[in-house]
A and B are shown apart, each in its own frame.
Chain A
């Protein structure tokens, strides 16, 4: 069982919809991440939160809006998406800094934009 929980597992949305992806971890990690993975490709970093503050935004379009309400929760708000945004969205968490701080990933949300 993964210690990073993502909901929903699957999401189908139209281009005019507004939806949110949710992520929760209870490992005491203070860094949280959103990655996007297209089929047959490696995960690509979207956002990094460190101590609940956005520290990295990898030039992600504004139709993706992250939010970190507290140290355990991470949301990704979606609005006016395009069909090419269909992908697996992965949340991860880690300790901040240190040499032995691997990222722990959730099982992702499979998003389909119609």
Chain B
């Protein structure tokens, strides 16, 4: 049973435009959500997070939106740059003494010059 789902395996966007990556979750006990970026042969790099008490968090070109009623979050990248091309994972966890992250299956973003 996939508790965190990324239904788009891939996304192509023109440089300078907005990239929107989507993620759905089923476990209502999740209260902390994160986005990671992963290049080949590297570990996941933390991008941005949001706790369930917020509906938006922004950091530079990256904004994460959380819709708790729909159990949906999205990552907006504006403007998209070729260096953003990577696999993006969303992840979620519940309250605990140590964070157990459940990852989605990832979306390959390609930003075309």
Contact = CB atoms under 8 A, between A and B. Distances in A.
Interface of A: 2, 4, 6, 31, 33, 41-45, 48-50, 55-56, 90, 92, 94, 96-97, 99-108, 110
Contact of B46 (A50, A103, A110): A103
A27 B94 CA distance: 23
A107 B41 contact: yes
Given A42-B104, A102-B49, A94 B43 contact: no
B43 A50 contact: no
Given A104-B46, A107-B41, A94 B103 contact: no
Given A42-B103, A42-B106, A43-B103, A105 B44 contact: yes
Contacts of A107: 41-43
B99 A42 contact: no
A44 B89 CA distance: 12
